[in-house]
Amino acid sequence: MKKLLFISALCIISLTLQAQLQVVNNNYIKLFGSSKGLHTGPTGKYGSATIFDFNTDTQSGVMLEYGASESAGIYLDGDYAVIWSPGDNGRLLRIYDEDDMHAGSTDYEKFYIDGDGDFYKASDLNRKEKINNLNDATGKLLQLRGVTYSYKLSEQEKEKKLKAKKRYGFIAQELEAVIPEVVDTDEYGNKFVNYTSIIPVLVDGFKEQQAQIDEQQIIIDKMLQEIVDLKAKISK
């Protein structure tokens, strides 16, 4: 009896898996229907991905794809990883925070990349508190050192004789000493910089300098007017 129940259970599981998984061929498995698939190859199975070669330098990659007239998915091979989507509603890629994905929430989207590849970060007033003006932005900017640099190449990159690109930026440790809020440190001690957060300092630094220029211009205009008035008195 137990043996019969065990066999019956295996049959049920097998039928369930067959309903959810369909092996089309050696490199293509359909998942939960024809519009979802896990497969290998240079191109996708749906939409424009069917005619797009994700990497002309390799014969095959692994893809998890969903689509019909359009396609979205993840492509992986030995060179790089690709995420693609239809880009509808002005979004190519959306990043959500699971902690905010509760009923009634509208704050779960943290950032997105639009159809032109531009990055948008959540910055609505309703998400912020303890808002204060920046102080001495010019003083902070004067302490910063902009540098040119290149990232160190890995051994594999050196073997491929790749050249490191010249870049512009800051040294995280130096930046942390001036504006610590824009620098983060991981569990291994590696430093990371949020370059976007430096923009408000640049803007306020410009405004502070412009205010100083405006004040100086008022003084200069006043002095010039005094000179004109003095010349007028002398000429009389």
Sort strands 93-96 and 81-84 into parallel, antiparallel or unpaired.
unpaired
What SS3 class is residue 65? strand
140: Cα separation from own chain's centroid: 26
- Who contacts 58 (Cβ-Cβ below 8 Å, separation ≥6)? 42, 77, 78, 79
Q: What is the mean pLDDT of residues 51-66?
A: 91
The DSSP element (H or E) to which 119 belongs, if any, is: strand 119-121
The DSSP element (H or E) to which 167 belongs, if any, is: strand 167-169
Q: Do the beta carbons of residue 86 and residue 93 sit within 8 Å? A: no
pLDDT of 7 > 60? The answer is no
pLDDT band at 231 (very low <50, low <70, confident <90, very high): confident
- Residue 2's pLDDT is 45
- Who contacts 207 (Cβ-Cβ below 8 Å, separation ≥6)? 137
pLDDT of 125 > 60? The answer is yes
- Residue 9's pLDDT is 45
**Is 0.85 surpassed by the pTM of this model?**
no
Q: What is the mean pLDDT of residues 164-168?
A: 95
Q: Do the beta carbons of residue 54 and residue 35 sit within 8 Å? A: no
pLDDT band at 134 (very low <50, low <70, confident <90, very high): very high
- Residue 160's pLDDT is 86
What radius of gyration, in Å, describes the C-alpha atoms of the chain? 30
pLDDT of 18 > 70? The answer is no
Domain ranges in the chain are 2-125, 132-236
Tokens of 108: 């779960």
Buried b or exposed e, range 129-150, using 16+ CB within 10 angstroms: eeeeeeeebeebbeebeeeeee
Q: Topology of domain 132-236, per CATH? A: Arc Repressor Mutant, subunit A (1.10.10)
Q: Residues of the chain with pLDDT > 90: what percent?
A: 70
Distance CA 3, CA 222 (A): 104
pLDDT of 126 > 70? The answer is yes
Q: What is the mean pLDDT of residues 62-69?
A: 91
pLDDT band at 30 (very low <50, low <70, confident <90, very high): confident
- Residue 194's pLDDT is 96
- Residue 13's pLDDT is 41
Distance CA 131, CA 180 (A): 18
Q: What is the mean pLDDT of residues 86-105?
A: 93
Q: What is the mean pLDDT of residues 85-97?
A: 94
pLDDT of 14 > 60? The answer is no
Tokens of 64: 């998890």
Q: What is the mean pLDDT of residues 20-45?
A: 79
What SS3 class is residue 24? strand
